[in-house]
Amino acid sequence: MVAIGVPGAGDDGASAAGRVLTLLHRRGPLTRAAVTAELGLAASAVGTALGELTALDLVRVGEPRRGSNGAPTGRGRPSPVVEVHPDGPVAVAVQLSADRATVGLVGLDRRIDHVRERALDGSGTDPASLLPELADAISDAALRTERRCVGVCVAMSGFIRESDGFVRSALHLGWNEVPLARRLGGMPPGLPVAVGRAATLAVLAEFRYGAGRGAASMLGLNCERVGVGGGFIDAGAPLTGGGHALEAGHIIVEPGGLRCPCGARGCLEMYADSRALLRAAGPRRHRGHEGVTEVFDDAAAGDRAAREAVRLTAGHLVTGLTSLVNTLAPERVVLMGFLADLYRAAEDSVRDGLTASSVVARAGQVEIVTGDLRHAALVGAAERAFAPLLRRPRSILRADPS
């Protein structure tokens, strides 16, 4: 995983153009003077890098910023504003979850276009049938734009060897030993394919661009209806542990409880995802997203059974958070997806429960917030797909067969 901070003078091998492009990608439009000051480069080196990036249609140089009177702002010679080119390259970002596949195009400005979802059922998740369909969806997304596609990243839950995109195990899909990146890379459109843990990528996106901005350390928990994933970032770097770190959904919160697909009993994800809420609410509820919304709405309206279901599910979330916060001591906790909805429905009980049960939360005044990004996993997947381009843009685009 690439480093999270803006690359500086000591960046490991990144070209000057790559460092300038990374800064603009992460920070948005800046004056040329601000770019020079931020990176600590000579003005001539920044000028050369901007010339290279402009020629590659990666960066656009505009007019200096102006005040309300129309005059350039700031002192001295006006500095032009530079930004990533709005028609620059895109990445194909994929989120593969237990019940659906989502595919979209993401630009360097993080604008997401052409998002398509396909529902999955148990019979449609076998790699032999799903991967050709997924390759078709990726190819279709790439053909929907005239912009250059520089790569693909699939975000999914599971035990993944990120160095080559090999999926050792994906419990909710029933996968074992699937060379996902290699198989997708051998199908049209033939783009480079990376594979990453969805929770880690979503947390990365929230840390850089969403609810985690400004935090020194951040614990993120994500739930896309089924299962719970987690990620932790400290001093700008995600905890990866060889691709298997922070399997938050498999913390035991109810010893001897329900059996999890992982083989253990009482895992957090069996008690704190959308299935758990519906199970706690009783058999008369609708299933799926519609049923979850109904439970939250009924709880807000004062329905006793719905409120009890929310209370019970939120209580198990607190139990899991207590172990995680006591172990990792994050400055901020960001809850995403279903867990964000659960927190909004039971904010006081989650916050007060964590404070009461976690000595670290009390001592460190851990902040709990909900995620800001609508498609955090897609944004995070695009970050991974863009990493080679951001490092050495000229080399990557020269190698682009398009």
Show pLDDT as tens, one digit a residue, over the chain (402 residues): 333 344 443 444 578 999 999 999 999 999 999 999 999 999 999 999 999 999 999 999 988 765 555 555 555 568 899 999 999 999 999 999 888 899 999 999 999 999 999 988 766 789 999 999 999 999 999 999 999 999 999 999 999 998 999 999 999 899 999 999 999 998 988 899 999 999 999 999 999 999 999 999 999 999 988 999 999 999 888 887 776 778 999 999 999 999 999 999 999 999 999 999 999 998 776 677 789 999 999 999 999 999 999 999 999 999 999 999 999 999 999 999 999 999 999 999 999 999 999 999 999 889 999 999 999 999 999 999 999 999 999 888 875 545
Residue in the structure block whose two tokens are 């402009």: 54
Cα-only R_g, the chain = 23
Please give the sequence-ordered ranges of beta strands (E in DSSP) within 111-216, or none if there are none.
112-119, 149-156, 159-161, 166-170, 175-178, 193-197
CATH classification code of 16-84: 1.10.10.10
- pTM for the model stands at 0.89
Please give the sequence-ordered ranges of beta strands (E in DSSP) within 323-371, or none if there are none.
332-337, 367-370
Residue in the structure block whose two tokens are 């843009």: 393
For 158, list phi and psi in degrees, rounded to 5: 140, -175
CATH classification code of 212-370: 3.30.420.40
Phi-psi sector, 166: left (phi>0), alpha (psi -120 to 50), beta: beta
d(CA 336, CA 338): 6
Positions of CATH 3.30.420.40 in the chain: 90-200+376-399, 212-370
Positions of CATH 1.10.10.10 in the chain: 16-84
Non-local (6+) Cβ contacts of 102 within 8 A are 94, 95, 115, 116, 117, 118, 375, 378
d(CA 187, CA 139): 9
Record the tokens describing residue 348, joined without a space: 């006081």
Residue type, 247: E
Sign of torsion over alpha carbons 391, 397, 400, 402: positive
CATH classification code of 90-200+376-399: 3.30.420.40
Q: Of the candidates 135, 86, 124, which has an alpha carbon nearest to the alpha carbon of residue 107?
A: 86
Cβ atoms of 159 and 195 closer than 8 Å: no
Geometric angle at alpha carbon 286, from 230 and 278, rounded to 5°: 40
Please tell me whether residue 223 adopts helix, strand or coil conformation. Answer: strand
Element (H, E) at 232: strand 229-234
Residue in the structure block whose two tokens are 């010893």: 255
